[in-house]
Chains A and B, each alone.
Chain A
Amino acid sequence: MVQKWDDIQKEEYERGKPGEINFLKTIGLTQSYMNKYYEEAYQKQAEGLGHITWVTSSVPFEVIFAFENVYPFLPEYSGVQASFDRKSTPYQLAAESHGYDIELCSVFRTSLGEDILKRTREEGAMPRPDSLIVTRHMCHAMGYAWQAYQRYFNVPIHMQELPYFTGPELDTPLADHYKKYYAESVRGLVKFLEKQTGQKFNKERYREVVKLSNRVRDIWLKILEHGKTIPAPYSDWDLYVPLLAIGNWRGTQMAVELFEEVNKEVVYRVENKIGALPNETFRLFFNGNPSWYNFQFLPAILARKGAIFVCSETNYLFTDWTNAGSGEFEEMADNFVRHYLNIGIRQKIEYDKRLCKEYKVDGAIFQDNRGCRPFAFGFYDVIDALEKEGIPCLLYESNSADLRFWSDDEIRSKLETFLEVLEQRRKGA
């Protein structure tokens, strides 16, 4: 039974064992919130009151939640969940049998396959969409994937984009015509949702949603900031679980509640000097996606030698990018455009160097994710830059949501070699 932080007996709180990650207890709440969200959406849809929209994780959720009874769902999450449960392969095979190549986005193949094989609500399927909303600035292929969904579901689609951020520096101000373009596309989204739901855009409600969204962002930033503590109060890997929530529900009270719970536990650990890995020896940066079907494989092997992930580019995706600011559409563009997957290689280098420095990392691990290729673009130059800074790097290849590309033996061997390098360097130092 997952408990809220205040219900956990502090005197019995585990302090962890050397060689094993001591997981945050409160992140388990994510699943119960997610179940509640699914239940409510299904129920509202059955009553004819709810509007289900399938979205990408880079849509302005604040605008969507400003409409009543609109439930955004992320096929990314659904695909990840199926993979996490090691149930994704039949769905992927189904999509492939319809002509979608094995090298296309693996979460897309999973979620499409769920529809082809008629995955049920009880089996964890998302409600069927009443509309589709797609943005480009996280991954270009999403436009193609959402068109494929449209073909299967035959529902209206809204397309929105933000151009690449071309810098030259990460903090270079955004040109006005970018802001205007984005704002116009958000206004288009408002019109689309008004048409689909029959509601008028409620500015009051929108401002409330924006406040909640910014609150979520602030708590999330605090949690990430605590990760800089030595020893690290949590394995950054653990945060991938609530991350799914921030990607889906920012702007909701539910997200605020969840992150406040997680933050309380993190603060408790920091105050009581409880590290997630009692023998923390090496602090690591991770860039990529976990292989969901083998989620704890990497952290478990690393932990045995005292290595722990303390920061990742993925968890930082949801910081500036989720800064809705005042809620002015132009201002949102300025924040959203610097999303890691929307910036150039120069800016990626700057970004990752900054994270590695702030979190005092000893090494970095990169996943060449052939199931989500935008992540992998630019890695070789980033690795080169980090190594020049004296940070040893490991690059391994897999497919986050398709276990057919995974090899236990190969990955274990790479990790062990990498750990030896870290140990040798430490001895040398």
Chain B
Amino acid sequence: MPSLENCEGENLFNEEVGALIDTLMELHKNSHQRLRESKEKAGKKVIGYFCWYTPKEVILASGAQPVMVCSSSDAIKISGAYVPHFTCNTCRSALDLSMGSNYDYLDGLVGCKVDDPWKTCYDVWELHVPHLYTHFVQMPSFTTADGASKFFIKELHLFKASLETFMGTKILDKDLQSSIQISNATRSILRQLYEMRKNDQPLISGTEMLQVLAPSFSMPLEAYNDILTRIIKVLPQRSERPAGEVRLMVVTSLCSGQIAEILREIERADAVVVVETACHGLSNITRDIPEDGDPLSNIAYFYLNASACPAKVPTEGWIEQTLRSANEYKTQGVVFIIEKYCDPYGFVYPDLRDKLKQIGIPSIKIDTGEGYFPLAQVRTRIEALLEMVKGNV
């Protein structure tokens, strides 16, 4: 789902951290080729998914490589024939790419109940790419609804059974436990990295953080964790740090095709992005999947309580988490980057904006969408926000 296809930016510092980030970026850039090769050589099956809420740990436990289908800011070629233009660009783009040659190595696609546009994308894929494996996981939309947990656990059992049939192998509890541990390990390392952004002078910029997060969608997590660990080790020795004076938070799903460009604009001004509410970033690391007890129940518990984005209702948890983070990361201003036609963010925006205002944090909202990116306006608005912040000091 996230769009990080074009997130490479100038490395601010010529040092080991930069080199490691370059490695990650290279891996991300070549992810399609890498996955094709690994499939050919090792025969490893690759299963795509659209949304972070997909229980990836079950796919991992089956022996397949889960890959998030990313969107891009490229023009839509295929999906325009299947979904209306007034669907958020992330959905249209991800569907477009998944049906085209970029993801031609996929052995299947797992849909997850997030909202109506994503369900439609799954339906279209299932209808038009009929020869591949598909499964739809009915994750409750109202996560606190009566019976939601029991229902979701049952759905996870069905998902596991479906994967077992497809993969021709039993998924044992120990396989699930092992995939949970790997996924928790990623969270643990990312948490350390996020801690370093709380420093008065953050050790890593928002643009770099985006680059660090991007490969997690397609890389084997062990290898990814390895590089992350090395980054954590060398980061404190970093001689130069992001120079921006104003500490900003970016509220976005990382869905927007132009997110990387906007982040670069922000950090070219006198600002540094200290935290972003991305499903793969901050929202992913706030809690771990419990490791004791029944693994599928633990996975259900984790996703039902994840608050990864405002797509799941009630959104109170996500709003509280965002406000808490704004405080913990000493945020002085907030940039909302909201995809046109995105209901979850569109509905939650006025509430969060007002709550931020109540605690003295000014914000701006930037709308994005296919072919819509008024760079000059974005620049001016960021400058205006910085002035507002400086005026508050």
> B84 touching A379 by the CB < 8 A rule?
yes
> A161 touching B140 by the CB < 8 A rule?
yes
> B124 touching A141 by the CB < 8 A rule?
no
Known interface pairs A140-B115, A370-B84; A345-B123 also in contact (CB < 8 Å): yes
Of B144-152, B258-266, B374-382, the segment with at least 4 beta carbons within 8 Å of chain A is B144-152
Nearest residue (CB) in A for B157 is A177
Complex interface residues of chain B between 352 and 382 (CB less than 8 A to chain A): 353-354, 367
Q: How many residues of A contact B (CB 8 A)?
A: 44
Chain A residue contacts of B348, Cβ below 8 A: 144, 147
- B313: CB under 8 A from chain A? yes
> B127 touching A373 by the CB < 8 A rule?
no
> B113 touching A143 by the CB < 8 A rule?
no
- B340: CB under 8 A from chain A? yes
- A145: CB under 8 A from chain B? yes
Chain B residue contacts of A100, Cβ below 8 A: 346-347, 350
Known interface pairs A140-B141, A151-B351; A184-B147 also in contact (CB < 8 Å): yes
- A160: CB under 8 A from chain B? yes
Picked from B87, B116, B147, B148, the residue with its CB within 8 Å of the CB of A139 is B116
- Residue of A105, A143, A378, A381 contacting most chain B CB atoms (<10 Å): A143
Question: How distant is the Cα of A178 from the Cα of B310 in the complex, in angstroms?
Answer: 24
> B350 touching A99 by the CB < 8 A rule?
yes
Q: What is the 8 Å Cβ interface bit string for chain B, positions 327-361, against chain A (1 contact, 0 not)? A: 00000000000001101101111110110000000
> A159 touching B145 by the CB < 8 A rule?
yes
Question: How distant is the Cα of A177 from the Cα of B155 in the complex, in angstroms?
Answer: 9
> B344 touching A163 by the CB < 8 A rule?
no
- A354: CB under 8 A from chain B? no
Question: How distant is the Cα of A177 from the Cα of B154 in the complex, in angstroms?
Answer: 7
> A103 touching B123 by the CB < 8 A rule?
no
- B83: CB under 8 A from chain A? yes
Question: How distant is the Cα of A103 from the Cα of B154 in the complex, in angstroms?
Answer: 36
Chain B residue contacts of A357, Cβ below 8 A: none
Chain B residue contacts of A105, Cβ below 8 A: 343
Chain B residue contacts of A187, Cβ below 8 A: 146
Chain A residue contacts of B313, Cβ below 8 A: 143-144, 147, 159
Question: How distant is the Cα of A378 from the Cα of B154 in the complex, in angstroms?
Answer: 28
Give the A-B pair count, Cβ closer than 8 A. 136
> A373 touching B141 by the CB < 8 A rule?
no
Picked from A103, A148, A346, the residue with its CB within 8 Å of the CB of B86 is A103
Chain A residue contacts of B144, Cβ below 8 A: 159
Picked from B83, B140, B343, the residue with its CB within 8 Å of the CB of A141 is B343
> A378 touching B340 by the CB < 8 A rule?
no
Chain A residue contacts of B117, Cβ below 8 A: 373, 377
Give, as a whole number of angstroms, the nearest-CB distance from B356 to chain A: 12
Q: What is the 8 Å Cβ interface bit string for chain A, positions 180-196, against chain B (1 contact, 0 not)? A: 11001101100000000
Q: How large is the interface on B (under 10, 10 to 19, 20 to 34, 35 or more residues)?
A: 35 or more
- A358: CB under 8 A from chain B? no
Give, as a whole number of angstroms, the nearest-CB distance from B152 to chain A: 9
Picked from B119, B127, B145, the residue with its CB within 8 Å of the CB of A185 is B145
Chain A residue contacts of B151, Cβ below 8 A: 163, 177-178, 180-181
Picked from B310, B343, B349, B367, the residue with its CB within 8 Å of the CB of A140 is B343
Picked from B155, B314, B350, the residue with its CB within 8 Å of the CB of A98 is B350
Give, as a whole number of angstroms, the nearest-CB distance from B338 to chain A: 8
Question: How distant is the Cα of A177 from the Cα of B150 in the complex, in angstroms?
Answer: 9
> A373 touching B116 by the CB < 8 A rule?
yes
Question: How distant is the Cα of A161 from the Cα of B148 in the complex, in angstroms?
Answer: 9
Question: How distant is the Cα of A81 from the Cα of B44 in the complex, in angstroms?
Answer: 57
> A143 touching B142 by the CB < 8 A rule?
yes
Known interface pairs A147-B315, A181-B150, A184-B146; A164-B119 also in contact (CB < 8 Å): yes
> A136 touching B123 by the CB < 8 A rule?
no
Chain A residue contacts of B87, Cβ below 8 A: 373, 377
> A377 touching B145 by the CB < 8 A rule?
no
- B223: CB under 8 A from chain A? no
- A153: CB under 8 A from chain B? no
Chain B residue contacts of A344, Cβ below 8 A: 119, 123, 126
What would 11 more interface pairs be, CB under 8 Å, given A103-B340, A368-B86?
Answer: A99-B350, A148-B350, A160-B146, A161-B145, A177-B150, A177-B154, A180-B151, A346-B123, A346-B126, A373-B86, A381-B82
Query: What are 23 sample pairs from A and B whose C-beta atoms fall under 8 A apart?
Result: A141-B115, A141-B116, A143-B141, A144-B310, A144-B346, A145-B347, A148-B347, A160-B142, A177-B151, A184-B150, A185-B145, A188-B146, A345-B123, A346-B126, A370-B84, A370-B86, A373-B84, A376-B84, A377-B116, A377-B117, A377-B119, A380-B83, A381-B82
Closest 3 CB pairs of A and B: A99-B350, A188-B146, A184-B147
